[in-house]
Amino acid sequence: MIQAVKEGCDALTITTSIIDGLIFAPTTQDHSVNYRSAMIHAYAARVLSNSSPDEFAQKSHALAKTTDTVTGYERTARVGGMIDKEVQRTGVIRARIEVASCKQRSGGRWVDRPPIEREEEENLPQGHAFVGVVPCWTEFGEPRGLGAEIENDEIGEVLKMRSRENRECALKVAMAETQINGRPVPGK
C-alpha cells in the first residue's frame, strides 16, 4: 500500500473483520458467522515525509498510538517511543476519510432470536446434526520473558482483561444480546 501511494494512488479502501462465532444451521446454505466489520474509503492519501519536522512528529505520534492500542496499555510511556531511525524506516499514510461503514451480525440461525437451547430440542427430528452457535474470540496467553512488567504482572493483567472482554463479547453476540448505539437491539 505504501508503494502504491508513493506511485500516485491517492484513493484507499481499508477493511477489517473480527469473527465472533460460527453458526451451524440444519442445512449448509443457512450456515453463517457472527462478525463485526468496518470499511473505510479514503482519498488524498500520501506517505508522511521524513524531511518535514511536522510530518515526522505526526509519524512518531501515530506509531506510538498504534503500539499503545495493540498492546492494550500505554506501552510507549514504559519503554519510550521509536528511535528516529526506526520512524524514518517506517511508512505512515495520511488520508482523508470519505465514507466509513460498519456491519455486525449476531445471534443464531435467525438473526432476530437467540440460538436454540436444550429445552427446545424435543421439537427437532431424531438424530439431527448440531444446530447452534460456536462462539470464538481472541484469547491471550501468559507472558513469557523478563522485565519489571512481568514481575509486577502488569502485562498479564491487561491481557487477562482483554481476553475476558473478548470472551464476554462473543458470548453476548451468540445469544443476540448486542446493542447498537448503546441501546438493545429491537426484539431482545
C-alpha cell at 122: 424435543
Residue 38 φ/ψ, nearest 5 degrees: -140, 145
What are the pLDDT digits (tens) for 127-149?
678 888 999 999 999 888 887 76
Reported as a single tens digit per residue, the pLDDT across 74-127 is 999 988 889 999 999 999 999 999 999 999 998 887 655 555 555 555 565 566
pLDDT value for 188: 41
- Residue 187's pLDDT is 42
pLDDT tens across 15-58, in order? 999 999 999 988 888 899 999 999 999 999 999 999 999 999 99
- Predicted pLDDT at 37: 97
3-state DSSP call for residue 137? coil
For residue 186, CA distances in Å to 3, 144, 180 come to 45, 45, 9
- The residue among 96, 93, 100 whose CA lies nearest residue 40 is 100
Instruction: Give residue limits of the domains in the chain.
Output: 2-48+91-181, 53-88
What is the Cα 90 distance to its own chain's centre? 23
